[in-house]
Structure formats: C-alpha cells, structure tokens
C-alpha cells in the first residue's frame, strides 16, 4: 500500500499527498537541474574559448589581448593558454560524466514511471478484486440470512413403504360387484405408496397359463412383451413388493396339434378356474392387470373375451369394450400392437409437408356381418353412404377416394362378429393411400361398442401416415388412453347425423391447423402406439398416473475420470487471458441448481402438457425448461428465497447491475462443457481464460481421444472444479452426453478453440436466463433454399439479416436437451453424425426447434472467434460444408419436415456496436 503525506491547502485544511506523487515531484526537480546546469556551463566555456582563440590568432599582437594579459610574456601567455586548455578538457570530461549520469537518471526515471504505471494497474486490479470480494461477501451474507429466515430444514423423503407379504386372501366379490369396480373400491392403494417407485410384477407366461387346453398365447406377443417389459424400470422380480401384477392374455391362438380336438371350439379361451388360482390372485384379483393385446385378429368376434367371465377386481386392458363391460376410470382402452417390438420408428412416418395432399378425404372398407348374412343398414347408414358418394362428383377441386366394397382377393379379415366396417386391401396398399390423404375417414362401430380393435387399428394407420383422423360417430366412442391424451387436438369427432357438414368443416381448416394436428398425430403415434415397447410403457405410465406416483428419474451417464484414483494431476496458478479488469459479478463457491423440486406436483399442475406436448410422462427429470416462473411480487412477498434483484428491487445502472444477477429466476450458475481431441495446449489455454469468471460452477472436459492426457500436463487452477471425463469412443455426439456431474441447468457448450471474453459469456448467460427453452449463443448460421435445384436446403454461413441456427461451439442450452438428444432423438441422426464426424450442432438445433417451435437467440460477440496457435480448422474445408448441406436435408427427411425457424432478432448489450465490411449493408443503416 502507498503512504500519504499531509499538507495544508489554501483553505487551511489538512490534505494528504500520496507518496508516489511526492516522488514524481522530486524526479521532475532533479531533471530540471540536470538539464539547466550543462546549458549554463556550455555558455560560459564558449565565451572563454572565443577569448582564447582571439589570443592565439595573433600571438604577436598584444594590442588585441585583454588587459590582464598585456603585461605577460609569450612564455607566460603560452602557459596560461595550456592551463585553460587543460581546464577545458577537465570540464568536458566532467560534462561527459554528467551526461552519463543524466542518461542513467533518465533510465531510472523511466523505470520508476513504468513501475508507477504497473502499480497503478495493480492498484486497479486489486481494487477490482476487492469489489468482487465485497460483492461475494454480500451475496454470502444474503444467502446466510435467507437460510436463517427460512428456519425450515429440507424435508427428508418419507420412508419407502413396501409390502412385506403377497396378496392377502379376501372374499371373492360377486359378479355384480365386479361390474361396478372403480379405483377407490377395487384397488389396494396400500401396496402403492408415494415413494414405492411403482414396482410391477409379471407372471411368467410359460409358467402361469390361464388358457384352456388347445389354446396358447401368440408367441410373438409373448416373447416381445417379455422383452419390452425388461426395459421398463418399474419391473420387479419380487412379488412381495409389487404394486400391480401383469397377466399376459395376449391373443389366444389354437395349438396345431389340437386343431381337430373338440376343445378348440371352446369359447372363451380363458380358463376361469386357472385365473382364480393364480399364485398372487388373493381371492378377488385386486391390483391385477389382464393384458389382452390383439395383433392379428382385428375383428370384434374375439375382442372382448372377458365379457362372460367374472374377472373379480382385476383391471382389464384391451382394445374392444362394450358399453356394458367397460368400467370408466378402471379398465383401460389401448390400441392393438401393430408396430415393431421397439427401436427407431421414425422411418415409418411420412412427410408432414405439404399440408394439402392429393386427396382431401379417403376411406377403404366394407360393411360386413356375421356369417355373411345380409347387411341390414339403417336409414341413417344409407343416407351417409349416399352423401359420401355424392362427394365424389363435387364441383370443387377437392378429390375424394372412397371404397365401400372390397374384392375377395383384397379382403384379409374374414367375417365380422357384429355389423362393422372391415379393412380393404393390404396394409401396404392402405398405407400408400393414406400417405396421399389429408384426412382419413373412420366409421365408429355400432352403438353397442365403446371401442373395437378395428377402430383402434384404423386410428393407428391414420396416425402412422400423417392423415388427420375424422371419426364419424365420434361422440359415441372412446379412443386409447383417453384419460390422458387430448384426442381433440389429434382427430375430428363428428356425429353421424351431421354428415352433411363434413365437406364444409374440412375446407374451413387452414393449412396451419392441418399441420398442427398432423404434428400432434405424429407425437401421439411415436410416443404411445408406434411399437410394442411404447404400448407397454404407456399402459404402465397411465396406471401409475392414476395413483399420482411420480416416474423414476431419467438415466444419466457416469462421468468416468481419465485419471485413476491414485493419480493427482498437476495444477498451476496462471492469470487468465480473458480475465476482465472490471467487476462482473460475485465469485462464489459451486452452487448446484435445485433438482427434482416438482416431483409430486408436476403431474398435478402440468400433467396434460407432459402427455400432450413435448414432455415425458415416462421419466422424471431434475428440471425442465418449461418450469413456471413466479410473479415479480413473489421476490419480495413470501417467496423471495434465492432471488437477487438488481439494486434490491430498485434497479440501477452498471454498478448495481454487476452486483446482482437479477432476472425472473432465482440465483444460479452455469457449467462449461468442453469437447476436445488431442489439442492439449489449446485446451489448457481455453481453461486458463476462465479464471475469475463469475457464476462459473465447474468445467467438464469430455476427453474424446483414445490417448489419455499426458501425466506431465499442468492444468490451470481457475478457482473452480475441472473434471476431465473419459469418453467411451471418439464421437461428436459426446458433446451432449447427459453426464451425472452436470449439476446446473445452464450448460455452456464450448469448442476447445473458442475465444470468448468474460463479459461476452456473462451477457449470454443473462440472456439465456430469459429464454431457458432455447439455444442462446454467439455464432449464427442459417439454412438457405437451393434456388438452383428448387428441392433442397443449403447450409450457409454468409452475412445475413436472418438466421435459424446458433452453433453449439459457443452456446448456452438447458441440461434437459442433453437427455432428449440421447433418449428421444432418432438413432439415425446420431449415426449420421458419426458417419460424417460433423453436424452434431445442426442436430441439436433441429431438436430444440422441433420441440419449442421457436428459433434460437443470437447474442452479440466480438467480430470473430479467434484460435491462437490452432492448426487448420476443419470448418475451412469445402468438404465440411458439403457434408452439412447433406445433413440438413437428411435430418429433414427423418423429422418429416424442416423444424428450423428464421429470426431477424439478435440480443445486444446497450451501446454495443458491430463492424461490417464495406461491401456489405446493414439490415438497418442507423441502428
């Protein structure tokens, strides 16, 4: 620290001079003396030299000599001159010494001036650090005060209640009592506590058979369901702790060896005695779920195989129900399992564009009845068929395709068990027609049935092909999972008597709503009905949702360190290049984002969004980008814990702005996620630049190289934890691994060669906090239409007043999207990323835009991203751009459309200006 010297000013008040100012005054006085002394000396010696010169010019002329030399002889005069010359040499020697000293003093003065400047910079740096420490101390005091004011410790979860015994034997209810079962009267809730995890037990189909001799469960269903259930996290092998018990009925088929036996004609195929003797039936079958998932036989003949059976208090899950047999809120309507066992089902989908297809409405089917008896159509049925035939001759440009009679060659379903519309043609032929249809007409079954397998199968086909279902008689039926899925966002329900409104209604729906409904069709198909795996997962999720039990947490990837347990990496303290000489915020210890705060309230407050928007009802996530915000009043009245309003709520300029995070969310930090491959020094330099960065929680480095880092590397100590994670293989998909050591919602995805200043990072972080569901970053790109081919997209990085992508080489995104990238994004897209070793950033932009239907947000940065000392970048290779062109078009095929949206908006800090080349024009010249 500097010392201060007191002095009195003109007002008589005592003031203080800093010691460095006093030193400056002394140096200036010495400098003035050293400069003036040689000048005076030079002037005096010059006069003497002139006088001596005049004497020696004419030694014989004494008249020109001064008076004191007139009386001197020539020898004395010569001695005097020599003496003067000696004096001159001595003076010149002294002058040279003085000049040397003067140069030395000037060098010292320059050294002192440099030291003064360094001390000034150090003073400013220390003052900045002091301000940061003051802010950090203030924030710590606020956190301590909040903890004391709360005075309520975090509650530990309640003890997990798990039954210790199997089902207790109870009295068998009467058939009348079973027919009126509801969850509150026929389900044992004591076996399904809030924290039980909803364990599910499956009866082994080969060991516990409940079919009559001569019947067996469809082998495909048996094998596939067992395999699919094995992937479900709720499966348990301990029947004592189970909440529900699954009994696979499947689709009963006759054994070939018993085809001639009288037992093959026995109906129903279920042995009621064997059903009641199931090991854990408990007398009344409570908490048992009977799964009748049809696959081949889509008739109603064998659909409701439980109609004449007494199933006790067991829940029935199937596609066919009569109004008499269906128990609302207890039984569950599902679709037939017509899809593959599981896996990537995206390729099954057709394109979502264009909105209007060749046919406005199509239908293929034929009404049949039992044993080909004459069909007795009502007057309403005849009127409906007549009106539909008239639509074929409509005078508009709309095209219809109706087939009400099937040829024998195309009829693959046989006779119907009741008057209903059978399917015409093969699956592939119907699929081809539906892909060319904007809407698909579906007839509801007769009034006896609330649902049939055929109805649900037609719904499945329409959803798969992207044809919006139009259900004639939709007011009398129920669709699969209707208690959780909002089918009115997917299908059009029209009473049979209003058939004359059909054409007018379809023409009033604009393209935007057609695409919105088609998009919702695809969402429902992919998540709930596309495969055996999705069907089984949905059944379990619906039953769990009824009980308000939260799902199990989503899986994460274990972050395995590249260092073993005994190795200690070398750390060195360096001054980060990007460290700012200004106070940008507090330096705090790592603060994890609160996780799993809405476990038990999410399904209550946003259950419909979870099932019908882009939520996930099958898994629980630490936090969602769509989590609601509290109103501004709550920061100060009742719920202000964790908030850091600017100026304590009064607002303020730069000083107050840097002291508090502000915003609409409580305080938080962010994690830097770095992907690197064999550029060790570049990586270390990038990490070193993060030293002193406010709100930095930790740095996670994904080491993508099979060669481990050198043990001699000196890792920079930046004041925050640095985790180096070993990737299983070299893949750009590893950039988005949902690692278990990512403890914050905000993730800053950064290339190892990106050069960002601290103020740029913090500005991007603050902007992301207001757009948590979007990608917020720096390098913007856009997808451009290829005007030459007129049928494809191009990746473009030129200057543009629109953008549609923000590259994840320097961008903030929510941690939730890392889970979706690996769990929900089609495997075909990740495979394409591995094939090209490119395009992972484009894939993430597709994903987020597809979910949010919003463009990314670009924030202001410096003109370019620098990479000092990096080798030739891959992005400068023309092959790189060609691959990215191909990626955009391939991703569009997989998604069925291009989800990227354009934006003309960029988030700028106030007074931040951007340079632009002279040959380019800004979007607006003066702003």
List the catalytic residues: 841
Is-contact 396 355, C-beta < 8 A?
no
Tell me the HSE value of 106 on the side-chain side, using a 13 A CA sphere: 10
* Helix, strand and coil in the chain, % to nearest 5: 40, 15, 45
DSSP structure string for 459-476: HHHHHHHTPEEEEETGGG
How many CB atoms are closer than 10 A to CB 731? 17
How many CB atoms are closer than 10 A to CB 594? 13
Is-contact 293 339, C-beta < 8 A?
no
3-state secondary structure of 405: coil
d(CA 178, CA 313): 6
d(CA 746, CA 769): 8
Q: Read off the tokens for 480.
A: 């699969």
DSSP structure string for 581-609: SS--S------PPP-STTTTTHHHHSHHH
d(CA 76, CA 68): 12
How many CB atoms are closer than 10 A to CB 714? 12
Count Cβ neighbours within 10 Å for each residue of 403-426 and write b for 16 or more, e otherwise: beebeeeebebeebbbbbbbbbbe
d(CA 434, CA 457): 13
Query: Strand pairing of 215-217 and 252-254?
Result: antiparallel
Which run of H or of E encompasses 511? helix 511-524
Place of tokens 């593959």: 340
Place of tokens 């027919």: 179
* Cα-based torsion angle of the residue sequence 507, 511, 515, 517 in order, rounded to the nearest 10 degrees: -40
Sequence-ordered list of residues with C-beta below 8 angstroms from that of 393, at least 6 positions apart, any chain: none
Give how far Cα 454 sits from Cα of 121, 296, 429, 760, Å. Answer: 81, 11, 17, 59
Place of tokens 């004011």: 149
How far is Cα of residue 891 from the mean position of the Cα atoms in its chain? 18
Q: Read off the tokens for 348.
A: 């099954």
Is-contact 179 327, C-beta < 8 A?
yes
Write the DSSP symbol of residue 778.
Answer: S
Scanning 299-435, the segments in alpha helix (DSSP H) are 379-391, 427-435
* CA nearest to 620, candidates 233, 160, 227: 233
Phi first, then psi, for residue 219 (nearest 5°) are -60, -35
């Amino acid at each position: 620290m500097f010392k201060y010297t007191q002095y009195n000013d003109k007002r008589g008040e005592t003031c203080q001079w800093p010691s460095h100012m006093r030193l400056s005054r002394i140096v200036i006085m010495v400098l003035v003396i050293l400069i003036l002394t040689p000048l005076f000396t030079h002037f005096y010696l010059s006069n003497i030299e002139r006088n001596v010169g005049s004497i020696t010019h004419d030694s014989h002329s004494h008249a020109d000599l001064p008076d004191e030399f007139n009386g001197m002889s020539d020898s004395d005069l010569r001695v005097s001159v020599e003496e003067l010359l000696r004096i001159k040499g001595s003076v010149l020697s002294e002058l040279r010494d003085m000049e040397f000293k003067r140069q030395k003093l000037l060098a010292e003065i320059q050294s002192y001036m440099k030291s003064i400047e360094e001390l000034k910079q150090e003073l400013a740096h220390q003052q900045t650090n002091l301000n940061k420490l003051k802010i950090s101390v203030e924030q710590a005091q606020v956190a301590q005060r909040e903890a004391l004011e709360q005075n309520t410790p975090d509650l530990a979860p309640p003890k997990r209640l798990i039954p210790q015994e199997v089902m207790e034997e109870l009295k068998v209810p009467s058939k009348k009592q079973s027919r009126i079962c509801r969850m509150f009267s026929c389900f044992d809730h004591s076996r399904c506590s809030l924290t039980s995890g909803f364990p599910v037990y499956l009866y082994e189909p080969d060991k516990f058979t409940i079919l009559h001799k001569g019947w067996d469960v469809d082998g495909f269903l048996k094998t596939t369901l067992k395999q699919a259930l094995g992937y479900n996290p709720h499966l348990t092998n301990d029947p004592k702790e189970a909440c529900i018990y699954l009994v696979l009925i499947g689709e009963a088929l006759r054994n070939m060896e018993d085809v001639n036996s009288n037992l093959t004609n026995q109906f129903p195929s279920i042995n009621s005695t064997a059903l009641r003797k199931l090991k854990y039936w408990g007398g009344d079958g409570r908490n048992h779920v009977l799964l009748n998932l049809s696959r081949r036989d889509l008739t109603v003949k064998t659909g409701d195989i439980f109609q004449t059976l007494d199933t006790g208090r067991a829940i029935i899950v199937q596609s066919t129900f009569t109004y008499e047999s269906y128990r609302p809120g207890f039984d569950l309507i599902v679709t037939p399992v017509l899809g593959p066992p599981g896996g990537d089902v995206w390729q099954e989908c057709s394109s979502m564009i264009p909105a209007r297809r060749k046919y406005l409405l199509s239908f293929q089917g034929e009404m049949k009845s039992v044993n080909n008896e004459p069909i007795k159509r009502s007057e309403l049925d005849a009127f409906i068929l007549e009106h539909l035939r008239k639509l074929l001759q409509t005078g508009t440009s709309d095209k219809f395709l109706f087939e009400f009679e099937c040829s024998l060659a195309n009829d693959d379903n046989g006779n119907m068990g009741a008057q209903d519309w059978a399917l015409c043609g093969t699956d592939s032929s119907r699929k081809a027609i539906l892909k060319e249809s904007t809407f698909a007409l579906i007839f509801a079954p007769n009034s006896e049935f609330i649902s049939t397998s055929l109805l649900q199968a037609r719904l499945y086909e329409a959803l798969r092909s992207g044809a919006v279902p139009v259900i004639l008689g939709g007011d009398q039926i129920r669709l699969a999972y209707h208690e959780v899925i909002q089918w009115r966002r997917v299908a059009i329900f029209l009473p049979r008597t209003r058939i004359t409104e059909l054409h007018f209604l379809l023409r009033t729906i604009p393209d935007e709503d057609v695409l919105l409904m088609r998009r919702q069709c695809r969402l429902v198909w992919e998540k709930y009905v596309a495969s055996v795996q999705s069907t089984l997962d949905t059944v379990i999720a619906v039953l769990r949702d009824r009980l308000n039990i939260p799902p199990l947490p989503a899986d994460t990837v274990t972050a395995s360190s590249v260092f073993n347990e005994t190795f200690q990496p070398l750390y060195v303290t360096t001054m980060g290049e990007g460290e700012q000489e200004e106070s940008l915020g507090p330096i705090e210890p790592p603060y994890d984002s609160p996780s799993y705060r809405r476990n038990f309230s999410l399904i209550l407050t946003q259950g419909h969004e979870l099932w019908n928007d882009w939520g996930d009802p099958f898994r629980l996530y630490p936090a969602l980008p769509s989590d609601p915000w509290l109103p501004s009043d709550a920061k100060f009245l009742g719920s202000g814990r964790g908030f850091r309003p600017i100026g304590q709520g009064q607002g303020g300029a730069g000083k107050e702005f840097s002291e508090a995070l502000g915003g609409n969310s409580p305080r938080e930090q962010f994690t830097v996620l770095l992907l690197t491959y064999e550029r060790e020094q570049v990586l270390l330099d990038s990490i070193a630049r993060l030293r002193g960065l406010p709100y930095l929680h930790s740095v996670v480095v994904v080491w993508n190289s099979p060669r481990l880092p050198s043990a001699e590397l000196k890792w920079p100590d930046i004041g925050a934890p640095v985790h180096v994670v070993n990737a299983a293989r070299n893949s750009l998909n590893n950039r988005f691994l949902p690692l278990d050591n990512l403890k914050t919602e905000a993730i800053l995805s950064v290339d190892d060669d990106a050069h960002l200043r601290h103020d740029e990072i913090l500005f991007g972080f603050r902007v992301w906090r207001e757009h948590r569901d979007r990608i917020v970053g720096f390098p913007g790109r856009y997808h451009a239409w290829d005007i030459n081919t007129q049928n494809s997209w191009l990746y473009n990085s030129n200057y543009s007043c629109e953008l549609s992508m923000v590259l994840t080489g320097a961008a903030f995104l929510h941690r939730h999207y890392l889970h979706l990238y690996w769990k929900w994004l089609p495997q075909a897209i990740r495979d394409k990323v591995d094939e090209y070793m490119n395009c992972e950033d484009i894939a993430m932009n597709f994903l987020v835009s597809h979910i949010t239907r919003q463009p990314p947000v670009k924030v202001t940065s410096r003109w370019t991203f620098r990479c000092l000392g990096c080798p030739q970048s891959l992005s400068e290779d023309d092959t790189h751009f060609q691959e990215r062109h191909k990626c955009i078009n391939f991703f569009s095929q997989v998604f069925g459309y291009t989800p990227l949206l354009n934006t003309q908006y960029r988030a700028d800090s106030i007074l931040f200006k951007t340079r632009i080349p002279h040959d380019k024009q800004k979007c607006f010249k003066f702003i």
